[in-house]
Amino acid sequence: MRFFPALEEGRLIRRYKRFLADIETVHGELLTIHCPNTGSMLNCMAEGARVWFSRSNDPKRKLPGTWEIGETPQGRLACINTARANALVEEALRAGVISELNGFTGLKREVAYGVENSRIDFRLDYEQGSAWVEVKSVTLGFDGTHVAAFPDAVTLRGAKHLRELACLAREGVRAVQLYCVNLSGIEAVRPAYEIDPVYAAALREAVAAGVEVLAYGVTLTPEQMWVDRALPVLLEPLHDPDALLVLPAV
């Protein structure tokens, strides 16, 4: 995925009211732009850090631009725009990058399903049946580690999606939780048990029910980004945080 028009660079002044960010461009222009991220953005931003944004000339828009990429306190790059994750995954699916899901004959997005009135990100159709794929964008990293974590804030919606996937798996339907890691310098992914233990428990229960859990890393630059590698998922036992159950990358 190439950014077009090219992204512009600036410095973050502050993020506030969740969806607003004040920045200063490299040319000294002060702007308020849209922050398309509903999470806490923990460890994902710092005042004065570099940001890259897309500018819009649409007269119907209230804000002149959208925050796309940010420099984290650890010096990594993170894709702030969570809406990019599904587009990246679709691009990777169609290119055959996500090998575990290759061979589908049809792809549909935002399909209604489940007992809790959910919508799946992707339904992939195969000759032998369908695979239901839920995508989550991962941007939470920590100092001194190359393991990213999800979520960065308590997510009732995320736990609901895992329950829905688990129900499918118990019925013999292929169900997949796919983490799209939009953060540079990452070698593995784990649930953020210290932030949302309910979600971490739901993930383990989903795996026990037969849900497949995949993670793929993204190469990210201010010019373009693309899914390019499988990453291992680390599931930490609830009663033994020092032990790790590893789901290896295929």
Residue 238 has pLDDT above 80, yes or no: no
Residues 201 and 161 grouped into a single domain: yes
Task: Please check whether residues 173 and 223 belong to one and the same domain.
Answer: yes
* Residue 250 confidence (pLDDT) above 80: no
Average of per-residue pLDDT values in the chain: 93
Chosen domain end from 50, 74, 98: 74
Containing structural domain, residue 147: 84-247
Asked if pLDDT for residue 247 goes beyond 70, the answer is no
- Region 130-149: mean pLDDT is 96
Residues 113 and 232 in one domain: yes
Q: What confidence score (pLDDT) does residue 74 get?
A: 94
104 plus 56 within the same structural domain: no
The structure's pTM equals 0.92
Kindly tell me if the per-residue pLDDT of 30 is higher than 90: yes
Q: Are residues 106 and 167 in the same domain?
A: yes
Statement to judge: residues 120 and 99 lie in one domain: yes
| Average pLDDT score over residue span 35-41 | 94
* Alpha-carbon distance values, 54 to 20, 51, 58, 62, 184 (Å): 14, 10, 12, 14, 20
Q: What angle do CA 204, 205, 209 make, to 5 degrees?
A: 115
User: In this structure, are residues 203 and 239 in contact, taking their beta carbons and an 8 Å threshold?
Assistant: no
Sorting pLDDT into bands at 50, 70 and 90, what band is 69?
very high
Task: pLDDT band for 241, please (50, 70, 90 cuts).
Answer: very low
7 pLDDT higher than 60: yes
What type of residue is 141? G
* CATH number for the domain harbouring residue 130: 3.40.1350.60
Tokens of 85: 């994750």
Q: How many domains does the chain have?
A: 2
Q: Over the stretch 165-220, which tens digit does the pLDDT of each residue have? A: 999 999 999 999 999 999 999 999 999 999 999 999 999 999 999 999 999 999 99
Domain-terminating residue out of 74, 104, 130: 74
CATH number for 44? 2.40.50.580
Round to whole Å and give the CA distance between 162 and 211: 9
pLDDT band, residue 59 (cuts 50/70/90): confident
The answer as to whether 2 is a domain residue is no
Across 56-70, 88-102, 174-188, least confident range: 56-70
Please list the residues that pair with 66 across neighbouring strands.
Answer: 34, 54
Q: What pLDDT, on the 0 to 100 scale, is given for residue 244?
A: 45
Summarize the confidence of residues 229-234 as an average pLDDT.
Answer: 97
- Dump the DSSP string for the chain: -B-SSPPEEEEEEEEETTTEEEEEETTS-EEEEE----S--TTS--TT-EEEEEE---TT-SSSEEEEEEE-TTS-EEE--TTHHHHHHHHHHHHT-SGGGTT-SEEEEEEEETTTTEEEEEEEEETTEEEEEEEEEE-B--TT--EEEE-SS--HHHHHHHHHHHHHHHTT-EEEEEEEE-BSS--EEEE-TTT-HHHHHHHHHHHHHT-EEEEEEEEE-SSBEEEEEEE-EEE--TT-TT--EEE---
